[in-house]
Amino acid sequence: MRVGMLTGGGDCPGLNAVIRGAVRKGILHHGDEFVGFMEGWRGVIENTTMPLNLETTSGILHRGGTILRSSRTNVKKIPGGFEKCLETIEKNKLDALIALGGDDTQSISLALSERGVKCVGVPKTIDNDLSGTDQCFGFDTAVSIATEAIDRLHSTAESHNRVLVVEVMGRDAGWIAITSGIAGGADAILVPELPIDLDEVCRLLKYRHDHGKKFSIVVVAEGAHLPAGGQSTHDTSLDAFGHARLSGVAQALAEEIEKRTKYETRSVNLGHTQRGGTPTAYDRMLATRYGVAAIDLVHQGKFGRLVVLKGTQISDIPLADAIAKTRTVGEDLLEVMRSLQPPVGAV
């Protein structure tokens, strides 16, 4: 079979491992040929390609980013976009298309499926908020990076008796914040799932200071809702899928915390550091399993589907189910977070 592959949306560690897994299984076991489309859906619209074979996918397993590059190209917003995609698919004589991406990318896979293209999706988002899968690859790496940063920030916060507010990624879900926050021993963790309660944050910090610790770490997801309402944005611009550029919540909180508590407070935004560099062994493994499963789905003729992780097993679900809603942090993890904090009224 001739199979196209692309990586869309924000990059994340493990994309290359998925590509390699699919290409190796496809070539070595099914006799497939692959076409790599450059820069997400832009490559399909413009028919810009690179060869994907055993040579071009060799030595990429441990490399971050994506050899196919990425973009947030929204086919729906480009006049004649879908027609151009169909033309490219025809020109390249493709039997199937594998798209690695989050809900935005998969919404285009779904739209193309509805136009007769044989699509298979692989769930990718650092935010880990794609519905229907228990984990997206790249998330474990992001959590490791954020946890290491929190560990490092402890010593400088302690040396200066400061509060440090650490901003991590997570547009609509606080998976990175809650996981790295708990793993890093943060004193307060703020996620988009719950409105920020500044009185409660200051109570937690004050309790800690009153019990002999003169420094504290607060972890906040970039998409956490400000006490005054809304999310903190870099500017008023929106990306091609209509998302704001989130940034600055940690700085806004740091200023308010210092004003209220009089503790010296600083903010750190970990930003794209969380998406860069080499994937963890866990992510290489998960990404490889996803890549192999994606090409297997192609050969089983199961199209319009997304490979997913259910518990410890790889499975698949309809693309439509994956983009129907955001997977947010559940009450169970929020309860673990609260269990580690002094309850209201503790003195």
Catalytic residues: 127
Min separation Cβ 76 and ligand F6P, Å? 18
CA distance 294 to 97: 10
Region binding ligand F6P by CB under 6 A among candidate stretches 119-127, 280-288, 293-301, 321-329: 119-127
Min separation Cβ 139 and ligand F6P, Å? 11
Q: Which residues contact 208 (CB under 8 A, 6 or more apart)?
A: 187, 216
Position 99 contacts ligand F6P (CB under 6 A): no
Binding string, 263-282, against ligand F6P, x = CB under 6 A? ------------x-------
Which residue number, 96 or 168, has a Cβ lying nearer to ligand F6P? 168
In the region spanning residues 275 to 314, those forming contacts with ligand F6P, defined by CB under 6 A, are 275
Residue 207 burial by Cβ neighbours in a 10 Å radius (0-12, 13-18, 19+): middle
- Residue in 15, 96, 169, 253 binding ligand F6P, rule: CB under 6 A: 169
Quick one: which of 323, 327, 147 has its CA closest to 219? 147
Q: Which two tokens stand for residue 326?
A: 């955001």
Phi, psi of 178 (to 5 degrees): -70, -35
Position 125 contacts ligand F6P (CB under 6 A): yes
Q: Which residues contact 296 (CB under 8 A, 6 or more apart)?
A: 25
Which residues face 306 on adjacent strands?
A: 121, 317
Min separation Cβ 275 and ligand F6P, Å? 6
Position 322 contacts ligand F6P (CB under 6 A): no
Cite the beta strand spans of the chain per DSSP E: 2-7, 33-37, 49-52, 96-101, 119-123, 163-168, 188-190, 216-221, 233-238, 244-246, 265-269, 305-310, 313-318
Position 193 contacts ligand F6P (CB under 6 A): no
CA distance 95 to 147: 43
Q: How many chain residues interact with ligand F6P (CB under 6 A)? A: 11
CA distance 188 to 190: 7
Which residue number, 2 or 245, has a Cβ lying nearer to ligand F6P? 245
Region binding ligand F6P by CB under 6 A among candidate stretches 54-62, 80-88, 169-177, 318-326: 169-177
CA distance 92 to 111: 19
Position 70 contacts ligand F6P (CB under 6 A): no
Region binding ligand F6P by CB under 6 A among candidate stretches 46-54, 124-132, 278-286, 303-311: 124-132
Name the residue number minimizing CB distance to ligand F6P: 169
In the region spanning residues 2 to 31, those forming contacts with ligand F6P, defined by CB under 6 A, are 10
Position 187 contacts ligand F6P (CB under 6 A): no
Can you give the binding site for ligand F6P, defined by CB under 6 A?
A: 10, 125-127, 169-171, 222, 245-246, 275
